[in-house]
Amino acid sequence: MFFFKKKNEKLTNSTLKILSGYNYRYRNIGKESEKTIIKYANYFNFDYEIDKRNSFERHFYWLKIKMLINNLESGNHKFYLWLDADTFVCRYENILNHVDKSKHIFIHNQFFKSKHKTKIPNVNYLTWGPNVGVILVRNTKWSLNFFKNVWNKKKYLTHHWPDNAAFMDELGYKAEISKLSDNNPSKKVLNKFFFLSGLWNSMPNKNFINPKNNEISNFYFNPIIIHLAGIRRRDRINFIKKHKNIFL
């Protein structure tokens, strides 16, 4: 069984539609995210669709790819904005006012402390790679084909970053799923992309409450969207309880 929550059809806006989804395991987090999504959507009169199905043909992370493909195939909106169920909107900023609308896919490129080790003590590699928790997509044939290609990368079905790894592969930022030298996206593909400021996908460290934490920070001051990526569920819930006042 699954449920959809959609905006009243009488108020539909063909400019942008927000997509999100969560299952019963993420309901305590997802329902808080949903509140901020609906406030944000209503403020700008954007449409939204939140899928609450409890079963899916793949790992639930792949739902975003399927929802984007379905909407790009049959939808009438100019743009689609996917927001993970552990993202929380904090400010009323129209994302369309902060991007080059001639591009096709809009995403934040984050820093990774690389899994690849250097030969020098106390020196680590940092690599770039996209995070798919927040994705803005222009409704184009190129975008549709890109996400179909991501969906078809079945070798990542059991990867610990399933959908994200497939996206990284298709874009060409492959250092953390392959070799360092594979972080080499083609100019042809890069020209279709716009990289969002980290304000749109501000991520606290996984162990943000640990004073000895030495992870790379991808958190931005005064964020528009906070994304609790990779954090244990109980720590996400504690973060929400402690910092709920900064969400919409």
Q: What is the pLDDT of residues 179-234, one digit of tens each?
A: 988 889 999 999 999 999 999 999 998 777 776 677 778 889 999 999 999 899 99
**SS3 assignment, position 86:** coil
Residue 144 — very low, low, confident or very high, per pLDDT cuts 50/70/90? very high
Q: How many domains does the chain have?
A: 1
144 — phi, psi (to 5°)? -60, -45
Contact 138, 89 (CB under 8 A): no
Which CA distances in Å does 38 have to 44, 52, 224? 10, 15, 15
> Looking at 7-21, 46-60, 104-118, 142-156, which range is the least confident one?
7-21
Average pLDDT of the chain, as a whole number: 92
Residue 229's domain is classified under what CATH number? 3.90.550.10
d(CA 7, CA 191): 33
- Return the structure tokens found at 91: 């400010």
On the question of pLDDT at 3 being above 70, the answer is: no
pTM of the model as a whole? 0.93
- C-alpha R_g of the chain: 18
- pLDDT > 70 in the chain, percent: 94
pLDDT at 11: 55
Q: What domain range is 132 assigned to? A: 4-246
Both structure tokens of 53: 């199905």
HSE-up of 76 (CA within 13 Å, CB side)? 5
Q: What is the reported pLDDT for 9?
A: 46
Place of tokens 């250092």: 175
**Residue 156 DSSP code:** G
- The pLDDT tens digits of the residues spanning 97-109 come to 999 999 999 999 9
159-175 mean pLDDT:
95
CA distance 18 to 35: 13
Reply yes or no on whether the pLDDT at 123 is more than 70.
yes
* Confidence (pLDDT) at 49: 97
C-alpha–C-alpha distance, residues 98 and 95, integer Å: 5
Residue 209 is classified by DSSP as T
The C-alpha atoms of residue 60 and residue 84 are separated, in whole angstroms, by 11
Residue-level pLDDT at 128: 87
- What's the pLDDT score for residue 10? 45
Query: How confident is the model at residue 207, as a pLDDT?
Result: 73
